[in-house]
A and B are shown apart, each in its own frame.
Chain A
Amino acid sequence: MNVGLPHFLTVSAALFALGLFAVMSRRNAVGILMGVELMLNAANINFVAFSRYVEHGIDGQLMSAFVIVLAAAEAAVALAIVLAMFRNFGSVHADTVQSLKR
C-alpha cells in the first residue's frame, strides 16, 4: 500500500479525535489530562510527518521537541493542581469542583 504522508495524518487525526473525546467525556481530572496528552502527541506526529515528507528540513522536529518540553511542564503543573484539588475537596472529579478555593 506504500505508506505515505496521508497514513500518518490519518493516525494522527484518530489520536486527536480520541483525545478530544477523552477531554469532553472524562470526569476524572487525570483522565482529562491524559486526553490532552493524546492530542499533543497527535500534533507531534503531524509535525514530524510533515518534516519528513514535505518540508525536508529539521524545523518540524525542533517544534516537536519544544512541544514535548512544554507538555512535560504542563503535566507537572496540572498534576500539582490535581493533588491540591484532592487535598482540598477530597475528589478529583472535575464536575464536583466548582471553585478555586474552599
Chain B
Amino acid sequence: MINDLVFVALALLTVVPAVWVVFSPNIVHAGFSLLFTLLGAAGLYAYLGADFLAVTQVMVYVGGVLVLVLFTVMMTRVPQQGKRRHGLDRYVPAALFALAVFGLLYKAITSTAWNAKPFTAQPTTAEIGANFMSNYIFPFEYVSLVLLVAMIGAAILIREHRNDRHEPAGEGEGVQ
C-alpha cells in the first residue's frame, strides 16, 4: 500500500514537471521544472533498486547537465520582442504525432503479456564496478574517449575566433 503511494508520488513528480518543461513559455521556468523531472527519475531508479544509478543521475544530470542548461539559458536570453507565438501550425502536428506515439506505446505495453516478476533488490554498486572492469571494459574505455573528445570539441566550439585581429596566422592563440 505504502509502496503504491510512493510510486504514484514519484511518477507524478516525474511527469507533471515534464508537462511544464514542454509547455512553459518561459524557458527559465522550463529549466527549473526539468530539475524536478530529473529528481523524480532518480527516485524511480531508487524505487527499482538501482541505487548506484539513482546517485549517478543526481550527480550527473542535476549537478552537471542541468547547471549547464541553466547557464546557457541565462547567457542567451534576449529581451522579449513583440510578436511571439503565432504557432498553432507548430503545435498541432507535434501534438498529433506525440499523441500517436504515446498511443502506440501504450497499446503495446498493455497488450503484451509481460513475463515479469520482480526479484529482490540487492546492492548494485560492487557488481556494476566489477562489470565495468571485466565484461564491459571496451565500452567503458570507449566512453571515456568519447567524453574526452566531447570536452575538447566543446572547448574548441566556444573559443573566440580572433583571426582577424592577429595578422600572423597560425599561432594566434593569445588570450587577452
Interface residues of B in 15-41 (CB under 8 A from A): 15, 18-19, 21-22, 27, 30-31, 34, 37-38, 41
* Complex Cα spacing A66 to B135, Å: 14
* Complex Cα spacing A5 to B108, Å: 13
Q: Kindly list chain B residues whose C-beta atoms are within 8 Å of the C-beta of A97.
A: none
Q: Let me know if A37 and B22 touch, CB within 8 A.
A: no
Query: Does B176 touch A at the CB level, under 8 Å?
Result: no
Contact of B94 among A4, A21, A70, A81 (CB under 8 A): A21
Q: Let me know if A68 and B60 touch, CB within 8 A.
A: yes
Q: Let me know if A75 and B65 touch, CB within 8 A.
A: yes
Q: Let me know if B38 and A31 touch, CB within 8 A.
A: no
Contact of B64 among A3, A59, A72, A82 (CB under 8 A): A72
Contact of B72 among A2, A70, A72, A83 (CB under 8 A): A83
Q: Let me know if B50 and A61 touch, CB within 8 A.
A: yes
Q: Closest residue to A88 on the B side, CB-wise?
A: B161
Known contacts A10-B106, A41-B41, A17 near B99 by CB under 8 Å: yes
Known contacts A17-B98, A54-B114, A75-B65, A68 near B56 by CB under 8 Å: yes
The range of chain B's interface size is 35 or more
Q: Kindly list chain A residues whose C-beta atoms are within 8 Å of the C-beta of B64.
A: 72, 75
Q: Let me know if A25 and B44 touch, CB within 8 A.
A: no
9 shortest interchain CB distances as A-B pairs: A24-B94, A17-B102, A73-B150, A13-B105, A21-B98, A80-B154, A25-B94, A80-B157, A53-B116
Residues of A bordering B, CB below 8 Å: 1-11, 13-22, 24-28, 30-31, 33-35, 37-38, 41, 44-45, 48-49, 51-54, 56, 58-59, 61-62, 64-66, 68-77, 79-84, 86, 90-92
User: 18 extra interchain contacts, Cβ-Cβ under 8 A, other than A6-B110, A48-B45, A81-B157?
Assistant: A11-B44, A14-B18, A18-B98, A21-B97, A24-B90, A30-B76, A58-B127, A58-B128, A61-B124, A66-B143, A68-B57, A69-B143, A71-B60, A73-B147, A73-B151, A75-B65, A77-B157, A79-B154
12 A-B pairs with CB atoms under 8 Å apart are A18-B98, A21-B22, A24-B93, A41-B41, A44-B45, A44-B53, A48-B53, A52-B121, A64-B53, A72-B64, A75-B69, A92-B78
Residues of B bordering A, CB below 8 Å: 3-4, 7, 11, 14-15, 18-19, 21-22, 27, 30-31, 34, 37-38, 41, 44-45, 48-50, 52-53, 56-57, 60-61, 64-65, 68-69, 71-73, 75-76, 78, 87, 90-91, 93-95, 97-99, 101-102, 105-106, 109-110, 114-119, 121, 124, 127-128, 131-132, 136, 139, 143, 146-147, 150-151, 153-155, 157-158
